[in-house]
């Protein structure tokens, strides 16, 4: 099954700055996803990272705020732009490793001061 | 949009007790998944259910896909300390890889 790693594992950032989170998978996968988990909350899908085309964003999330790259079938990045304290969350990369089995990376814990 | 409600929101039990939690949806799903999240980690898949009425076990864990396709149940038998964590249900529609997550059940074991 796919092994997913994320960098950084955690970061503390200043308001107004941007942070790029990397997601690496040890095998080629078609579907990669980015989720957000706000403190004490469930997971919410931000977007689907499509290889070779623009990401598909869910309602409430926009490309200017969360630009995503997917240069190949094993890697994706999510940038959290112009951060505010409300962006403090865990950001999780996930992949569909096999039939209906979505697996998650360890997450990136972001704190915005 | 679809919403998944999980209950209970939290549970405080003693080691060795059995645990039951459930998840209900306002609409149907084709696949139900149950995940466990430990502090500082991403969710880990426990059980996947693909057919209405399906009952699937994974060690001490048993999950069922409700007949109406709008609910699912997870049972943990003879709980142990490492069962502590947050359990999430997730629903998935056919041909759609996106997951809709439940609100979570936080399990705490009282010494």
Q: Each residue of A36-76: pLDDT tens digit? A: 999 989 999 999 998 888 899 999 999 999 999 999 999 99
> Mutation test of the interface with chain A: which of B43, B45, B46, choosing the one with the most A Cβ atoms within 10 A?
B43
Q: What pLDDT shows up at residue A100?
A: 59
> Mutation test of the interface with chain B: which of A102, A105, A111, choosing the one with the most B Cβ atoms within 10 A?
A102
Going by C-alpha positions, the residue among B71, B68, B67, B65 that lies closest to residue B49 is B65
CA distance A84 to A100: 35
| B19: confidence class by pLDDT, cuts 50, 70, 90 | very high
Judged by CB atoms closer than 8 Å, whether chains meet at A102 and B99 is answered as: yes
> CB burial class (10 A; 0-12, 13-18, 19+) of residue A45?
buried
Judged by CB atoms closer than 8 Å, whether chains meet at B97 and A44 is answered as: no
DSSP reduced 3-state for B6: strand
pLDDT tens per residue across span A11-30: 999 999 999 999 999 999 88
Instruction: Name chain A contacts of B95, Cβ cutoff 8 Å.
Output: none
Instruction: Name chain A contacts of B98, Cβ cutoff 8 Å.
Output: 33, 45, 48, 58
């Amino acid at each position: 099954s796919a092994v997913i790693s994320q960098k950084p594992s955690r970061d503390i950032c200043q308001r107004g700055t941007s942070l790029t989170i990397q997601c690496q998978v040890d095998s080629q996968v078609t579907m990669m996803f980015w989720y957000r988990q706000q403190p004490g909350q469930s997971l919410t899908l931000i977007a689907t990272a499509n290889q070779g085309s623009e990401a598909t964003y869910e309602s409430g999330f926009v490309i200017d705020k969360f630009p995503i790259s997917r240069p190949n079938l094993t890697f994706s990045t999510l940038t959290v732009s112009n951060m505010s304290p409300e962006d403090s969350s865990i950001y999780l990369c996930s992949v569909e490793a096999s039939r209906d089995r979505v697996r998650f990376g360890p997450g990136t814990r972001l704190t915005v001061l | 949009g679809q919403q998944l409600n999980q209950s209970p929101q939290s549970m405080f039990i003693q080691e060795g007790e059995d645990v039951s939690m459930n998840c209900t949806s306002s609409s149907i799903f084709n696949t139900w998944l149950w995940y466990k999240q430990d502090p500082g980690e991403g969710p880990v898949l426990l059980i996947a259910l693909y057919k209405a009425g399906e009952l699937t076990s994974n060690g001490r864990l048993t999950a069922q896909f409700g007949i109406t396709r709008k609910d699912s149940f997870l049972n943990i038998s003879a709980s142990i300390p490492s069962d502590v964590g947050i359990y999430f249900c997730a629903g998935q529609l056919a041909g759609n890889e996106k997951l809709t997550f439940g609100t979570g059940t936080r399990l705490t074991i009282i010494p």
